């Protein structure tokens, strides 16, 4: 119980209330996970759930596909052409695709030096994606390396104008990821949603949108729910992650994910939300089950 008295400051009270509400919301899942007792549950259907492949790389792709189906969803994020036959065997969708290249986020569309290589890679994979029924293909700006934002934006537009006709023809959306340049990806150019949204406006194609990584954007600029509401028309995909540390999205971190997910649902979003945290529980799949529970609003 939170007691009020004359010495209780407004700020302290808000902090107490926030911490209490978050703890109450996720405590059952945390306790169950730590005791390896979470079982499969019925999802509400308001969020299309996914999980990033790299965060569960200790499992083979076959094993991860089986685990995903057992939890109750059917998509894995950040997979490439070599992965798709395995996923198709299990009936698992690729919610965000890579090319078969090196997918180097530091050498991206903002630098003409890399344009031809990237254009060739995208041209190769887009028809393959379309044939498989996949829609989202990740792309990156790359580092600034002394380049100003306006020049980088124009360079990205030049490359995208050569890629998008094929993407539009095949029903594929190029999705540029927003990453923080404070901690994880120093010097990365597309590090603010406002910059990414402006690029979307200038490109003027429904086949070019943003990957709003909640973890990265909380670090870089915060104001997550307002930004989701303001820029949702330019967002094609979401990633999660606990802040700080990029671990479980429970009461150990600063964002209340159920509220964020409700804001996403309220925008009418029909795409995928992919878990992209690094699990720390002894049974790592219990971390994933907990995260799906937290986000399933």
* Per-residue pLDDT at 2: 37
Q: Is residue 70 part of a domain?
A: yes
Q: Is residue 234 part of a domain?
A: yes
Distance from chain centroid for Cα 3: 39
* Per-residue pLDDT at 5: 43
Q: Is residue 17 part of a domain?
A: yes
**Per-residue pLDDT in tens (0 to 9) along the chain, 297 residues:** 333 344 444 444 334 434 444 344 444 444 444 444 434 568 999 999 999 999 999 999 999 999 999 999 999 999 999 999 999 999 999 999 999 877 789 999 999 999 999 999 999 999 999 999 999 999 999 999 999 999 999 999 999 999 999 999 999 999 999 999 999 999 999 999 999 999 999 999 999 999 999 999 999 999 999 999 999 999 999 999 999 999 999 998 999 999 999 999 999 999 999 999 999 999 999 999 999 999 999
Which structural domain range is residue 116 located in? 10-295
Q: Is residue 37 part of a domain?
A: yes
Q: Is residue 171 part of a domain?
A: yes
Global confidence as pTM? 0.86
Distance from chain centroid for Cα 121: 22
* Per-residue pLDDT at 15: 42
* Per-residue pLDDT at 205: 97
Give the separation between CA 234 and CA 211, rounded to whole angstroms.
9
On whether the CB atoms of residues 19 and 2 are closer than 8 A, the answer is no
Q: Is residue 273 part of a domain?
A: yes
* Per-residue pLDDT at 41: 65
* Per-residue pLDDT at 162: 98
- CB neighbours of 33 closer than 8 A, spacing ≥ 6? 281, 283, 286, 287, 289, 290
CATH number of the domain where residue 270 is located: 3.20.20.150
- Give the CA distances from residue 171 to residues 46, 149, 163, 167, 197, in Å, rounded to whole numbers and listed in that order: 24, 29, 12, 6, 21
* Per-residue pLDDT at 215: 98
Could you tell me where the DSSP H helices lie in 185-256? 193-203, 214-220, 224-231
Give the separation between CA 101 and CA 137, rounded to whole angstroms.
13
Cα four-point dihedral sign 33, 39, 42, 48:
positive
* Per-residue pLDDT at 276: 98
Number of domains comprising the chain: 1
On whether the CB atoms of residues 263 and 232 are closer than 8 A, the answer is no
Q: Is residue 265 part of a domain?
A: yes
Q: Is residue 180 part of a domain?
A: yes
């Amino acid at each position: 119980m939170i007691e009020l008295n004359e010495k209780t400051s407004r700020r302290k009270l808000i902090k107490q209330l926030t911490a209490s509400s978050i703890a109450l919301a996720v405590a059952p899942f945390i306790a169950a996970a730590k005791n390896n007792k979470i079982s499969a549950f019925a999802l509400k259907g308001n969020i299309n759930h996914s999980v990033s492949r790299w965060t569960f790389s200790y499992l083979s792709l076959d094993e991860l596909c089986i685990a995903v189906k057992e939890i109750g969803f059917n998509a894995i994020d950040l997979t490439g052409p070599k992965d798709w036959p395995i996923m198709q065997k299990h009936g698992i969708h690729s919610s965000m695709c890579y090319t078969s290249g090196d997918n180097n986020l530091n050498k991206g569309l903002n630098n003409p030096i890399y344009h031809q290589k990237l254009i060739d890679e995208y041209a190769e994979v887009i028809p393959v994606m379309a044939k498989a029924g996949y829609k989202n293909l990740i792309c990156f700006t790359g580092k600034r390396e002394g380049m100003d934002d306006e020049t980088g934006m124009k360079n990205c537009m030049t490359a995208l104008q050569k890629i998008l006709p094929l993407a539009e023809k095949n029903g594929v959306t190029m999705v540029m990821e927003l990453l923080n340049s404070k901690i994880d990806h120093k010097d990365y150019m597309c590090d603010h949603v406002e910059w990414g949204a402006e690029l979307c406006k200038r490109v003027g194609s429904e086949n070019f949108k943003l990957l709003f990584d909640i973890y990265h954007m909380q670090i870089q600029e915060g104001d997550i729910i307002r930004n989701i509401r303001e820029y949702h028309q330019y967002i094609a995909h979401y990633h999660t992650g606990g802040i700080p540390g990029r671990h479980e999205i429970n009461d150990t971190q600063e964002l209340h994910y159920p509220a964020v997910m409700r804001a996403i649902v309220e925008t009418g979003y029909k795409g995928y939300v992919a878990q992209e945290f690094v699990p720390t529980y002894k049974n790592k799949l219990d971390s994933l089950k907990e995260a799906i529970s937290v986000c399933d609003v």
